Amino acid sequence: MTENENITTLLKEKRLFKPSALFQKTAYLPSFSALQTLRKKILKKPELFWAAEARKLKWIKPFKKVLVWNPPFAQWFPDGKINISENCLDRHLITARKNKAAILWEGEPGDTRTLTYQELHREVCRFANVLKNIGIVKGDRVSIYLPMIPELPIAMLACARIGATHSVIFGGFSAEALKERNVDAQAKLLITADGGYRKGQAIPLKANADIALAGSPSVEKVVVVRRTGAPVAMLSGRDFWWHELMRSASSVCPPEPLDSEHPLFILYTSGSTGKPKGALHTTAGYLTQAAWTTRMIFDLKEEDTYWCTADIGWVTGHTYIVYGPLSNGATVVMYEGAPLHPQPDRCWEIIEKYRINVFYTAPTAIRTFIKFGEEWPKKHDLSSLRLLGTVGEPINPQAWLWYHQVIGKSKCPIVDTWWQTETGAIMISPLPGATPLKPGSATAPLPGIQADVVDKTGKPVPPDQGGYLVIQKPWPAMLRTIYGDPERFKKQYWSQIPGAYFTGDGARKDKDGYFWIMGRIDDVIKVSGHRLGTAEIESALVSYPQVAEAAVVGRPDEVTGEGIVAFVTLQGRTQPDPILREKLIEHVAKVIGAVAKPSEIRFTDALPKTRSGKIMRRLLRELATSGQVKGDVTTLEDFSVLTKLQAAEEEE
């Protein structure tokens, strides 16, 4: 590997936040030394640690074998039998959790529902019988295209109960995306709703589904939840109302004994080609890591009220709204709508109303809150919060500090959790009572996870040098394959770096062993021979007081190879001007060095993002290079953002 294939690192973040004595007093892992001891204990045989955690679950037939590893195909606890819905529900009914709230649901219009564990169990059993009654059997695939309403986790758990494999398709996806996913999974059933509320509007899900169904020949039946009451077309013999099927369904449904490696769900994630890429996750290993990480990273206690703002259409919602928290018997808040509706303080209102203790959200949401200003959270009593989390993108240190001070009142640890749809559960994260925090770093791999930063040959790079983030040993919640395409699974993840799973992310490890994610490798910018990750330059921009968000991309440059173009949104009512532009360029040079100086700064009202909130640098790169966007835009959240950017381009 030649020198300039490494990624040059520029950012030096020095601040350190130790867990408070108050937090440590009740934390499961209450000190750095306790964490070190645990790490040492399990370093040599992480599988034995995971096996011990797996034994804490309820098994129908206990396993003897822990791991069968035929690279890159793993089987965890392969000779055991288990049922996830039994672990998330039945297990709690013989304890004081029987009448504890499992789900506190709030609709966007302000309507609410509470489901205790017993009630949730009843609904799941009844819907599991509905599934059986309409001909769904173990191994069938079921597409679920629902808004964030309780029927969504009920449907997932009912599938898990009978051994059907669910494929949840985010409610914001188009008919075309739904169709492709139905076809790829060969789904036999689709579960949808008449609609759902988002930003004050009723989104017509069934109407979208009808378009998708025209091209989804494998789908034989459709179950429709009534949510908005909007009129929908029901095709006789194919379409059935949820509430009508449920009326006569029995609430007795024993959990099906399933192999540990039984496919639990498929979740589609964006690939570079047009073909949807379905990450396949299985049962026991997934649940083991989901349960352990939820308990330890969120330090989740019996009396906590926990809120993860993700949509269940993403893996974050699968693992940290449904399977992780419910297997721990937690009380979960679930919110249907948009975070800024009807006003920018909806989240703070919900935290105050439910006295939420643990709050897990995304950097994109935090940066949006920053943009709207402190006055919104200040209207609310947020004193119930004791722990905060983030996931999805690198969090800029400045945004981290805002979250820590304004939301956490400087008393809540922040767990910056790195993971992927493919990893199934959190991989790199602080343990809140034990890990001293550095803003912007996801800190270190969890005990039992072996990750490193390496060069192209798989050799670890020295501290503070950028490289490729890899995982070197199989982990329980890893995807088992890409659904229907094991070759693509091998090629995509296991053949780029010898002997390891390649995450697609660039990262560096500092001298203390802290991991800093530098951005996706595909987004690396090459300036005068230096390969620069996007995260550091963006964080430098965001550290300037008036900046809310920034995205940087490379554009061909005759002299330097590539030049840096920065797209910047400003806080509150700040107006862009040429002086600010100059100041920002100087600021970047000062904070991280002249090599990272943007050759151009473009101010914009908003950045193009995926529906899960990730900045789409690919589109900005096209825009900066050719002045227009020709590539695939189907995952774009808000099309008008792109239209505006293109119009601005034409004016210049």
**CB of 345: closest distance to ligand WT7 in angstroms?**
25
Of 172 and 373, the one with the shorter C-beta distance to ligand WT7 is 172
Answer for which of 24, 364, 417, 492 binds ligand WT7 (CB under 6 A) is: 417
Residues 297-326, one symbol each (x = binds ligand WT7 by CB under 6 A, - = not), give: -----------------xxx----------
Of 154 and 442, the one with the shorter C-beta distance to ligand WT7 is 442
Answer for which of 197, 292, 359, 419 binds ligand WT7 (CB under 6 A) is: 419
How many residues make contact with ligand WT7 (CB under 6 A)? 21
Choices 122-130, 330-338, 412-420, 490-498; region in contact with ligand WT7 by CB under 6 A: 412-420
Q: Is 229 left (phi over 0), alpha (psi -120 to 50) or beta?
A: left
In the complex, residue closest to ligand WT7 by CB: 421
Answer for which of 389, 392, 533, 554 binds ligand WT7 (CB under 6 A) is: 392
The full 3-state SS of 170-188, as one line of letters, equals: CCCCCHHHHHHHHHHHCCC
Rounded to an integer, what distance in angstroms lies between the CA atom of residue 465 and that of residue 82?
44
Q: Is 489 in the site for ligand WT7 (CB under 6 A)?
A: no
Answer for which of 239, 336, 416, 538 binds ligand WT7 (CB under 6 A) is: 416
Residues 6+ apart with CB under 8 A from 110: none
Backbone angles phi, psi at 481, to 5 degrees: -170, 175
Q: Is the Cβ–Cβ distance between 324 and 290 less than 8 Å?
A: yes
**CB of 168: closest distance to ligand WT7 in angstroms?**
14
**CB of 516: closest distance to ligand WT7 in angstroms?**
9
Of 216 and 288, the one with the shorter C-beta distance to ligand WT7 is 288
Please give the sequence-ordered ranges of beta strands (E in DSSP) within 494-637, or none if there are none.
Answer: 501-509, 515-520, 525-527, 530-532, 547-557, 561-570, 600-603
- Extract the tokens encoding 646: 């293109």
Rounded to an integer, what distance in angstroms lies between the CA atom of residue 452 and that of residue 173?
35
Q: Which residue has the tokens 């532009």?
A: 581
Residue type, 360: Y
Q: What dihedral angle (degrees, nearest 10) is formed by the CA atoms of 257, 261, 262, 264?
A: 110
Strand partners, 416: 390
Q: Is 587 left (phi over 0), alpha (psi -120 to 50) or beta?
A: alpha
Of 506 and 563, the one with the shorter C-beta distance to ligand WT7 is 506
Can you tell me whether residue 445 is helix, strand or coil? strand
Choices 241-249, 417-425, 491-499, 539-547; region in contact with ligand WT7 by CB under 6 A: 417-425
What stretch of H or E contains 345? none
Q: Is 391 in the site for ligand WT7 (CB under 6 A)?
A: yes
**CB of 351: closest distance to ligand WT7 in angstroms?**
21
Rounded to an integer, what distance in angstroms lies between the CA atom of residue 3 and that of residue 8?
10
Choices 61-69, 214-222, 285-293, 386-394; region in contact with ligand WT7 by CB under 6 A: 386-394
Of 454 and 517, the one with the shorter C-beta distance to ligand WT7 is 517
Answer for which of 19, 394, 554, 598 binds ligand WT7 (CB under 6 A) is: 394
**CB of 642: closest distance to ligand WT7 in angstroms?**
20
Answer for which of 442, 453, 553, 620 binds ligand WT7 (CB under 6 A) is: 442
Of 256 and 416, the one with the shorter C-beta distance to ligand WT7 is 416
Q: Is the Cβ–Cβ distance between 524 and 5 less than 8 Å?
A: no
Choices 40-48, 69-77, 113-121, 502-510; region in contact with ligand WT7 by CB under 6 A: 502-510
Choices 177-185, 198-206, 414-422, 626-634; region in contact with ligand WT7 by CB under 6 A: 414-422
Q: Is 169 in the site for ligand WT7 (CB under 6 A)?
A: no
**CB of 579: closest distance to ligand WT7 in angstroms?**
33
Of 569 and 612, the one with the shorter C-beta distance to ligand WT7 is 612
Of 216 and 309, the one with the shorter C-beta distance to ligand WT7 is 309
Answer for which of 262, 367, 520, 618 binds ligand WT7 (CB under 6 A) is: 520
**CB of 451: closest distance to ligand WT7 in angstroms?**
12
Answer for which of 108, 123, 151, 505 binds ligand WT7 (CB under 6 A) is: 505
Q: Is the Cβ–Cβ distance between 514 and 438 less than 8 Å?
A: yes
Q: Is the Cβ–Cβ distance between 333 and 307 less than 8 Å?
A: yes
Q: Is 9 in the site for ligand WT7 (CB under 6 A)?
A: no
Of 277 and 386, the one with the shorter C-beta distance to ligand WT7 is 277
Choices 128-136, 140-148, 372-380, 419-427; region in contact with ligand WT7 by CB under 6 A: 419-427
Q: Is 260 in the site for ligand WT7 (CB under 6 A)?
A: no
Residue type, 287: L
**Residues 602 to 621: which contact ligand WT7 by CB under 6 A?**
612
Choices 102-110, 171-179, 337-345, 387-395; region in contact with ligand WT7 by CB under 6 A: 387-395
Q: Which of 296, 332, 330, 328 is nearest to 317 (CA)?
A: 332
Of 542 and 580, the one with the shorter C-beta distance to ligand WT7 is 542
Of 215 and 504, the one with the shorter C-beta distance to ligand WT7 is 504
Tell me whether residue 3 is exposed, middle or buried, using C-beta atoms within 10 angstroms of its C-beta: 0 to 12, 13 to 18, 19 or more. Answer: exposed
Measured between alpha carbons, how far is residue 539 from residues 231, 496, 531, 549 in Å? Answer: 47, 28, 17, 9
Q: Is 503 in the site for ligand WT7 (CB under 6 A)?
A: yes
Sign of the four-CA dihedral 211, 216, 221, 223: negative
**CB of 442: closest distance to ligand WT7 in angstroms?**
5
Q: What dihedral angle (degrees, nearest 10) is formed by the CA atoms of 54, 55, 59, 65?
A: 80
Please give the sequence-ordered ranges of beta strands (E in DSSP) within 36-181, or none if there are none.
Answer: 59-61, 67-70, 73-76, 81-82, 101-106, 112-116, 141-145, 165-168
Answer for which of 9, 420, 492, 569 binds ligand WT7 (CB under 6 A) is: 420
Of 255 and 278, the one with the shorter C-beta distance to ligand WT7 is 278
Can you tell me whether residue 489 is helix, strand or coil? helix
Q: Is the Cβ–Cβ distance between 629 and 642 less than 8 Å?
A: yes
Q: Is 504 in the site for ligand WT7 (CB under 6 A)?
A: yes
Rounded to an integer, what distance in angstroms lies between the CA atom of residue 517 and that of residue 417?
11
Residue type, 404: H
Of 184 and 393, the one with the shorter C-beta distance to ligand WT7 is 393
Choices 252-260, 388-396, 550-558, 578-586; region in contact with ligand WT7 by CB under 6 A: 388-396
Of 375 and 638, the one with the shorter C-beta distance to ligand WT7 is 638
Measured between alpha carbons, how far is residue 534 from residues 455, 471, 520, 585 in Å? Answer: 18, 22, 8, 15
Residues forming the site for ligand WT7 (CB under 6 A): 269, 314-316, 391-394, 416-421, 442, 503-505, 517, 520, 612
